[in-house]
Structure 1
Amino acid sequence: MKVDLPIGQVSILETDGYISHLLLDQAQLDKLLNKGIEIRFKETELLQQAIFQLQEYFDGIRTNFTVPIKQKGTPFQENVWEALSLIPYGESRSYSDIALQIGKPAAVRAIGQANKCNQLPVFVPCHRVIGKNSSLTGYAGQKTDQKAILLKHENILFKEK
C-alpha cells in the first residue's frame, strides 16, 4: 500500500500478519518485484493501522509504534535491528555505540551495512544512528535527505554536509 509522508511516497507491505517492509521509493519496490516476491496490493486493517501510526508520528503525537513488525535477516542483522529498536525517540547513537551494545566493537562498518538492510525504516529507527562526530551518514543507501527529515522531526542534532 502506498502512502505519502513527509519523507516522500512510501510503500508499506504486510506479510503473514506483520508489517514486513517500509519501502522508501519505487526502486526498492521494483527490486522486490524483480526478485519474484509476490506482493498483493490490498488494503488491510493492519496496513491502515500502520499508516495511521506513521501519520501520528509525523504529526508529533506518537513516539513509539505498536503495530506488529517482522523482518528476516542474518542473526547479526537481527541483533543490530533489535539494538536500533531500543534507541528512544529524540535520541541518537553512533555506529560504534551500536557495535559496543551488541558486543561486537570492531563491527562498526557491518553495523552500517545492517542498517542499510533494515526493511522497516522509521519503525526500526536506523535514522537515529549517526556518525560518531554527529555527521549525517548514509540512510538506506544514499537517502540522507530522508534521514535529515526524520532527525529534524525528532529534534536530533546532527552536522549537515
Structure 2
Amino acid sequence: MNTVENIEFVPLGEIRMGCEGYGLIIYTVHGVIDVFKDEIISVNSQDSERVVMLSKCGEFLMVNGEFGQYIVNIREQRISVYRITIRSNSIWSEEIAVFGKEKTHINGFSRHYYLQFPFIIQQDFQKTLSRYKSLRERQLLEMESAL
C-alpha cells in the first residue's frame, strides 16, 4: 500500500532573478504534512521524484530541499533534519544538523542516515528549527570574530 497519496508544490514566487521557488505539501494516509509549504524546497522544478523519496519500508519520506534535507516519519507525522544550510548576511554553512542528544539510524533509502536531530511534531518543527539555526548563527559569528 502506498502511504503517499499526493504531493503538491506551492508557488512561493521569484526568489532571485529567474528562479521560482516552491514549497511542498505532502498528503499521506496518516495526515497532511504541510510544514514545508512556506519553505523553499524546490527551485524551477516541480519534479516530485527528485524532491521526495519514499523509503523501501514505506515508513519514512526523504525531502531533498534546496537548503535542507529532511526525514519525515509518515505514521507519526514527525520531522527531523539531516542536512541544513545556515545562511545570513555574512554566513553560509552547509552542515549535518546536530541538536540535542537524540540519535536515530534510518535505513531504507539508497544509503544509511544517522540523524542527530530529534523527530519533532509538525506544530513545533519550525520553532525548533529556528532555535537551532539561531544557535548555529551565533556560534559561527563568534568563531568568525575570534579569527
Is the structural similarity TM-score above 0.5? no
What's the TM-score once normalised by structure 1's chain length? 0.26
| Structure holding more strand per residue | 2
Structure number with greater CO (CA < 8 Å, separation at least 6) is: 1
